[in-house]
Chain A
């Protein structure tokens, strides 16, 4: 398996623009997680899905952030409009929780908002 695949790996955009980050989880995994990492705040859980349904979005910072999972093999995290404080590395992870409880992380999408 190719692991969790995220795109783009790097994104530089200007304040006010819409940003869409994409994630393809590992096939057969029924949980998908979106995390954000900054130097100041470390790794923060934003939202997670179970069987494509959002379960807990309490970590989503504000209404500018939205996440969808239209099917078991694809999820998006959208920021509209983007702000400089959204600059961070965004990680997607997937899991088959009934087994080890291990989360498999992607390589991350580094977002810079100017």
Chain B
């Protein structure tokens, strides 16, 4: 699976949009971009994933550049409860049903300031 690069930490003011970047310049055509977050002392939580089109759900939006070498996770109105470590993960999704586990990097520690 392709490697990802994320900033170690970021701050964002409460109520503002939090934009978390991720570089995945070696991504291949069949690899998806997944985002998870881990709030302190809890298990990681799935946020969103995408292949090449932008995606939005109730938690966040995912913007993937046209060349797919980078992406941005957007939390539109950050709250204090969004303080967490955010992981960007690139992996294949085997449509035949086979799978291997996600490989987590260091992630970005997002701190929402009141």
Verify that A and B bind, or say they do not. yes
Knowing A100-B49, A104-B46, A107-B43 are in contact, say whether A33-B101 is a contact too (CB < 8 A).
yes
- A4, A45, A101, A107: which contacts B34 (Cβ < 8 A)? A101
Closest residue of chain A to B44 (Cβ to Cβ) is A105
- Which residue of the partner chain B has the closest CB to A107? B43
Q: Are B46 and A42 in contact (CB under 8 A)?
A: no
- The answer to whether B99 touches A101 (Cβ under 8 A) is yes
Contact A42 B100 (CB under 8 A): no
A97–B97 touching, CB < 8 Å: yes
B44→A50 contact, CB < 8 A: no
Cβ B102 vs Cβ A105 within 8 A: no
- Asked if A48 contacts B100 (CB within 8 A), the reply is yes
A31-69, CB < 8 A from B = 31, 33, 35, 42-43, 45, 48, 50, 55-56
List residues of chain B with CB under 8 Å of any chain A CB: 32, 34, 36, 41-46, 49, 93-94, 97-106
